[in-house]
Amino acid sequence: MKDGRILTTHEAKSMTSALKEIEGIILTVLYAITMLVTFAGNGFLIYIVWKKPEVRSLTSFMFVNMAIADLLVGLIVMPWSIAQVHTDGLWMIPGVFGEVMCKGVVYIAYATLTASILCLTVIALDRYYTIVHHLRRNLWFRRPKLTVPFIWIFSLASMSIFPAIQTVEDHNSQCMLSVYVLGDPYKAIRGLFLYLVVINYLIPLIVMSFLYTIIARRLWFHGAHRNEHSTENREQQETLKRRIVWMLIIVTSTFALCWLPAHVVHMIFVMQAWNIEVTLQPIVMFVCFWFGHANSAINPWLYIFLSTKMNTAFKRMVCRETRQSPPSNSVITSNANLPPEQEAVKEESRL
């Protein structure tokens, strides 16, 4: 019986080790694919807005801002997540540089999340004033030169607590939160993760849901402002506005769904700090955060394929249609002879 028990223990350990290795391989492959899609999508988006002036608007600049945040996630946060899987959470970079990197990676992870959700909120505000209060055009947040710095300054400032409390622990060489400097560790954990959920998820989503509800009621039930010159023109513009709003609702909903599992994990941390027994397997936690990081890969492609003007610019760039176009098509003086797709692009650029 003794030998049997020893054999069973060894088998169980081997099976556990093999399962853990398989989980690590699967997560590594998922992250590798996600990183490639992230670099390609966000690189294309930034390049299109840089090269094609006709696609530039506050919405496109906000998506470029999100693309920069997503690229930082792909360059810094995703490789760190892969390393965490294979090192069991051990921080392998020694010395002062390792301490700085430990603080910086976590800081960037949460600051980029804040920047992304703020960009989506600004886009919702812009659509709200464009459709519901269309006469109020000179608002400060509709100027990218002011909005972009504000978003990053606010994001960095609101997450500035992490460099102060994130550290490499001497006793286990793990990059982790050291909340003892904040007083009672249980209260600190509860306050910190509740703060993240409220600031980076609940408040922005409530604001955006409220704004898009008003926008939808105006577009689908009451019609937008009716100062257009003809019924046909008015219907065309309202159709395009509905398309843009649908695109933004899809992007926002995707963001909310992707980051929901990670914020559920944050709430589990809060519950554990309240001495509520909730068991969370490491693989489950990694997958939850992978869903959030995968949003960095999904965002740019949603915008490229759902926006008429971005989709057209992307197709032209990939297929190099602009080089094959005859010179007579390079100057267009009216909408009368435009193909439907180009006409939609021109109208969408005005909204």
Identify the pLDDT of residue 131.
Answer: 81
Identify the pLDDT of residue 202.
Answer: 93
Residue at 247 is within a domain: yes
Identify the pLDDT of residue 108.
Answer: 93
Full-model pTM: 0.80
Residue at 111 is within a domain: yes
Give the whole-angstrom CA distance, residue 199 versus residue 226.
37
Pairing of strands 175-177, 166-168: antiparallel
Give the whole-angstrom CA distance, residue 281 versus residue 233.
57
Whose tokens are 């590594």? That residue is 28
**Backbone torsion region of residue 173, taken as left when φ is above 0, otherwise alpha when ψ lies between -120 and 50, otherwise beta:** left
**Tens of pLDDT, residues 54-87:** 888 888 888 899 999 999 999 999 999 898 888 8
Look up the CATH number of the domain holding residue 35. Answer: 1.20.1070.10
Q: How many domains does the chain have?
A: 1
Residue at 320 is within a domain: no
Identify the pLDDT of residue 323.
Answer: 55
Identify the pLDDT of residue 339.
Answer: 47
Q: Under a CB-based contact definition with an 8 Å cutoff, are residues 310 and 303 in contact?
A: yes
Residue at 332 is within a domain: no
Q: Under a CB-based contact definition with an 8 Å cutoff, are residues 106 and 166 in contact?
A: yes
Range of the domain at 198: 23-222+239-315
Q: Which two tokens stand for residue 47?
A: 């390049």
Residue at 343 is within a domain: no
Residue at 97 is within a domain: yes
Identify the pLDDT of residue 346.
Answer: 47
Residue at 266 is within a domain: yes
Which residues of the chain fall below pLDDT 50? 1-7, 9-12, 15, 228, 322, 325-351
Residue at 334 is within a domain: no
